[in-house]
């Protein structure tokens, strides 16, 4: 017999409107949406019923695996703790970021990233996880060891997204030395001489490795259908390079010019949800809200705060006159899913997966009260 659940007395957030009514779920899929008088079923008490959120770029797992400098936690336990926070934030599909290549900012051995990926796979297969997990490889193309790390993931079917990034001074996020000095010299307590050596080494590595590594990783990803993302694009030349490379996602562009060019070229422009919640970038770059108001924002990412994803969607609907709640929600549901080819989720629509969240919000931060993945309650 088929398994059926009815969610009734809900404010259902559809692609372009909010309707009061009920949703019928059968065998993990949305079977019907009825407006008006509700069927008998699980009473949502007038709360919002929304698609589960889709997260493409989160570094949140790292904090559970390495909760203190030099400390390593049990990998599966770390994945479970990360998953619990992600799911209770309303995220039913998550792309966990794993570092490929040393970028002078983290002391993870390449094998540690492979071990974390194996832990994600084991936890998913054993039914330990609430959300649906995929892998996003963050490839520091200027790092000498990036291909060594990347090789360990060839043939891994859970890898669905790879970003090409270069954090060397003078590149992309660090167009000015002022930002780079704060991030690497001041925070690390380096002397002037130590910092000069550090900068020279990073610039030399970027000049030597970035182009061939970018080319090798891009060729592999295009060949196996892994979505490519650019990272911190700042200029029109960066955008042109991304288009030539077959990039579909422009992560955290650092100028309005680059964001607009990316959007106009058909790339999905991703910005951080914490940027929306805080009212600006923590690193002094462009404000995500400005891109939303200009109509050139496509995707939001929780980045380092899982709960920021649903909070930011409500804030955009509240604060930007041209954006209503269904449109704001699309930045964290349908658009990220479509960008990476997951066309079975992201909307409350007949035939789609019943990845659903119940949300209550009058003022302030929204409360995710319940979460279902493929019709099964997981939080």
Domain count, the chain: 1
Structure-block tokens of residue 110: 């390449």
pLDDT given at position 186: 64
Looking at residue 260, which CATH number applies to its domain? 3.20.20.140
**Residue 358 domain-assigned?**
no
pTM: 0.92
Give residue 377's Cα distance to chain centre.
Answer: 23
pLDDT given at position 1: 52
**Residue 248 domain-assigned?**
yes
Tell me which residue of 348, 361, 370 sits closest to 17, measured CA to CA. Answer: 348
Q: What are the counts of helices (DSSP H) followed by strands (DSSP E) for the chain?
A: 13, 16
How many C-beta atoms surround the C-beta of residue 361 within 10 A?
16
pLDDT given at position 202: 80
pLDDT in tens, 231-269: 989 999 999 999 999 999 999 998 999 999 999 999 999
Terminal Cα distance for the chain, rounded: 25
Rounded percentage of the chain residues whose pLDDT exceeds 70: 90
Residue 116 and residue 65 in contact, taking contact as beta carbons nearer than 8 Å = yes
**Residue 243 domain-assigned?**
yes
Q: Which residues are within 8 A (CB) of 248 and not within 5 positions of it... i.e. 6 or more apart?
A: 227, 228, 229, 267, 268, 339, 340
Residues paired with 139 in a beta bridge: 100, 164
pLDDT at 82 over 70: yes
Rounded to whole angstroms, the Cα distance separating 97 from 99 reads 7
pLDDT given at position 182: 58
**Residue 306 domain-assigned?**
yes
Rounded to whole angstroms, the Cα distance separating 234 from 232 reads 6
Rounded to whole angstroms, the Cα distance separating 149 from 180 reads 25
Residue 62, domain extent: 52-345
Type and span of the H or E element at 161: strand 159-165
**Residue 182 domain-assigned?**
yes
**Residue 25 domain-assigned?**
no
Q: Residue 160, SS3?
A: strand
Rounded to whole angstroms, the Cα distance separating 132 from 374 reads 10
**Residue 374 domain-assigned?**
no
**Residue 86 domain-assigned?**
yes
Radius of gyration of the chain (CA): 21
Q: Which residues are within 8 A (CB) of 123 and not within 5 positions of it... i.e. 6 or more apart?
A: 76, 79, 80, 83, 129, 133
pLDDT in tens, 312-347: 999 999 999 999 999 999 999 999 999 999 999 999
Phi-psi region of 357 (alpha: psi -120 to 50; beta: other; left: phi over 0): beta
Label residues 265-280 b or e (16+ Cβ within 10 Å = b): eebbbbbbbbbbbeee
């Amino acid at each position: 017999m088929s398994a059926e659940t009815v969610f009734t007395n809900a404010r259902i957030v559809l692609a372009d409107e909010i309707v009061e009514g009920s949703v019928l779920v059968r065998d993990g899929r949305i079977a019907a949406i009825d407006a008006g008088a509700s069927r008998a079923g699980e009473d949502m008490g007038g709360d919002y019923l929304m698609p589960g959120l889709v997260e493409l770029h989160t570094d949140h797992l790292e904090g559970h695996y390495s909760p203190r400098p030099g400390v390593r936690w049990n990998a599966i336990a770390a994945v479970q703790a990360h998953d619990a926070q992600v799911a209770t934030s309303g995220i039913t599909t998550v792309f966990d970021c794993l570092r490929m290549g040393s970028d002078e900012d983290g002391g993870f051995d390449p094998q540690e990233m492979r071990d974390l990926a194996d832990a994600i796979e084991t936890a998913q297969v054993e039914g330990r996880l609430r959300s649906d997990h995929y892998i996003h490889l963050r490839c520091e193309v200027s790092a000498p060891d990036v291909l060594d790390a990347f090789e360990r993931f060839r043939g891994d079917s859970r890898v669905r997204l790879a970003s090409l990034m270069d954090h060397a001074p003078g590149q992309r996020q660090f167009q000015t030395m002022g930002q780079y000095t704060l991030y690497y010299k001041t925070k690390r307590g380096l002397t002037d001489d130590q910092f000069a050596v550090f900068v020279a080494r990073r610039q030399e590595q970027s000049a030597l490795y970035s182009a061939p590594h970018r080319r090798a990783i891009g060729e592999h990803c295009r060949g196996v259908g892994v979505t490519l993302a650019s990272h911190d694009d700042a200029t029109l030349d960066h955008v042109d390079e991304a288009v030539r490379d077959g990039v579909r996602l422009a992560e955290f562009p650092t100028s309005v010019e680059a964001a607009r060019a990316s959007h106009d070229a058909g790339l999905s422009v991703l910005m951080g949800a914490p940027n929306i919640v805080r009212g600006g970038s923590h690193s002094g770059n462009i404000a995500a809200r400005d891109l939303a108001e200009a109509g050139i924002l496509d995707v939001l990412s929780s980045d380092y705060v899982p709960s920021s994803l649903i909070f930011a969607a409500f804030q955009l609907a509240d604060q930007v006159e041209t954006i209503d709640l269904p449109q704001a929600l699309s930045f964290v549901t349908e658009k990220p899913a479509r960008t990476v080819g997951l066309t079975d989720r992201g909307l409350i629509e007949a035939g789609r997966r019943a990845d659903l969240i119940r949300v209550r919000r009058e003022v302030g931060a929204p409360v995710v009260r319940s979460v279902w993945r493929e019709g099964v309650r997981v939080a």
